[in-house]
């Protein structure tokens, strides 16, 4: 039970102080068990756009890309009706949102890998990869600790679509609008100052599409090949993060791994298990308050149901907090009422409650079990 509570409580804390960045700070070493987290638009990120976009264009781009993430998550969720965004974030399934520096191999090779709380396995582009967009590739031939896993390895049963045409276990999967083919491998992953020998990951041999994070992905979900599962003895399935938002690209956040050095004043909510998507972090959202008033939302709109996959999840890769339509309409109407009828409501893309004049926005509070 302790593990279940810690994972959630730490996953949505944002207590660390973000650090201002310049290009010279991109290569600063990580300390202890804490990694710097860079936003995709950071000068330290390989995903930094070639030219700056306006705030409006950025929001519209994020909204457009977010739909693919929703489709990835929604087959086991109840959100088959239209859903509407109400808060900010960013998706990772089409374009990475947050990256961390990981050292792989012996001697170590640096990779800026995307982090994703709804994916299990790690994978990186390897030398000779066909279709990989990054000029930074992991050279397995230059790592003394690298090894390929054969088809009899237990991990070969834990990856999607395994194939065994030869000695090495290979797998293929889709990610956003892309596909990848990777050989199942092991090597030492060093996170901050912590080496994790024999870390299982996919060494990408070929890709199609443009959706893959260029230097790879590090899965932080609850699955058997995720970072938390493979480092259980070291980090005790405990982590927290502070994420810089898309309007603060010049700042870094932090990913703290393990129970040591975590925030002391923590509020807890239980993590729920949904057999339809066992890797996801489900929580029990009890209600939403706008200002001082609890919004009248049909209980069925927020209910957790492991039978049909309905419920609320935390996901590091989704741009916008989304609600099923009955919940969204109730929250939106309560928000508009608190702002007042004199302010003209406009729209921006899929956002239906925008204002072109200054308003006093009411506080919105999400209430969780516990």
Running DSSP on this structure, what letter comes out for residue 31? B
Helix, coil or strand: residue 211:
coil
What is the rounded distance in angstroms from the CA atom of residue 266 to the CA atom of residue 254? 17
Residues 6+ apart with CB under 8 A from 166: none
Are the CB atoms for 102 and 189 separated by under 8 Å?
Answer: yes
By the 10 Å C-beta count (0-12 exposed, 13-18 middle, 19+ buried), 50 is classed as exposed
- Neighbouring-strand partners of residue 48: none
- Neighbouring-strand partners of residue 242: 254
What is the rounded distance in angstroms from the CA atom of residue 327 to the CA atom of residue 25? 43
Are the CB atoms for 7 and 263 separated by under 8 Å?
Answer: no
Q: Which helix (H) or strand (E) holds 180?
A: strand 178-191
Q: Is 116 considered catalytic here?
A: yes
What is the rounded distance in angstroms from the CA atom of residue 139 to the CA atom of residue 187? 12
CB atoms within 10 A of CB 227: 27
364-368: strand order across its sheet: 293-294, 285-290, 364-368
CB atoms within 10 A of CB 199: 22
CA distance between the termini of the chain: 14
The residue annotated as part of the active site, out of 66, 120, 187, 315, is: 315
Running DSSP on this structure, what letter comes out for residue 70? H
Structure tokens at 75: 């087959």
DSSP tally for the chain: helices H, then strands E: 6, 22
The residue annotated as part of the active site, out of 27, 66, 116, 369, is: 116
Catalytic residue numbers, as ranges: 116, 315
């Amino acid at each position: 039970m302790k593990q279940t509570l810690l994972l959630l409580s730490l996953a949505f804390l944002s207590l660390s102080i973000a650090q201002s960045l310049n290009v010279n700070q991109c290569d600063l070493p990580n300390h202890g068990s804490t990694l710097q987290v860079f936003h995709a638009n950071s000068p330290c990120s390989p995903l930094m756009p070639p030219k700056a976009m306006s705030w409006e264009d950025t929001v519209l781009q994020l909204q457009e890309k977010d739909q693919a993430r929703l489709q990835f998550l929604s087959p086991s969720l109840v959100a088959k009706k239209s859903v509407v965004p109400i808060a900010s974030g960013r998706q990772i399934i089409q374009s990475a949102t947050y990256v961390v520096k990981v050292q792989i191999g012996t001697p170590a090779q640096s990779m800026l890998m995307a982090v994703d709380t709804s994916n299990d396995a790690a994978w990186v582009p390897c030398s000779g990869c066909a279709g990989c967009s990054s000029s930074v590739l992991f050279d397995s031939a230059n790592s003394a600790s690298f090894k390929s896993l054969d088809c009899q390895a237990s991990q070969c049963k834990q990856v999607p679509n395994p194939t065994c045409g030869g000695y090495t276990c290979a797998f293929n999967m889709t990610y956003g609008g892309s596909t990848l083919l990777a050989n199942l491998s092991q090597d030492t992953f060093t996170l901050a100052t912590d080496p994790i020998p024999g870390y299982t990951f996919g060494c990408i041999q070929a890709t199609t599409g443009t959706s893959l994070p260029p230097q790879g992905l590090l899965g932080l979900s609850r699955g058997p090949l995720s970072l938390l599962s493979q480092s259980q003895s070291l980090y005790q399935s405990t982590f927290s993060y502070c994420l810089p938002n898309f309007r603060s690209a010049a700042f870094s956040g932090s990913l703290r791994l393990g129970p040591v050095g975590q925030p002391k004043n923590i509020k807890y909510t239980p993590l729920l298990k949904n057999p339809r998507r066992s890797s996801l972090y489900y929580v029990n959202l009890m209600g939403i308050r706008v200002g001082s008033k609890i919004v009248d939302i049909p209980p069925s709109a927020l209910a957790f149901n492991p039978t049909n996959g309905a419920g609320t999840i935390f996901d590091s890769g989704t741009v916008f907090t989304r609600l099923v339509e009955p919940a969204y309409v109730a929250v939106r109407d309560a928000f508009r009422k608190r702002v007042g009828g004199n302010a003209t409501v406009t729209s921006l893309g899929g956002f239906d409650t925008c204002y072109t004049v200054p308003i006093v926005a009411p506080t919105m509070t999400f209430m969780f079990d516990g």
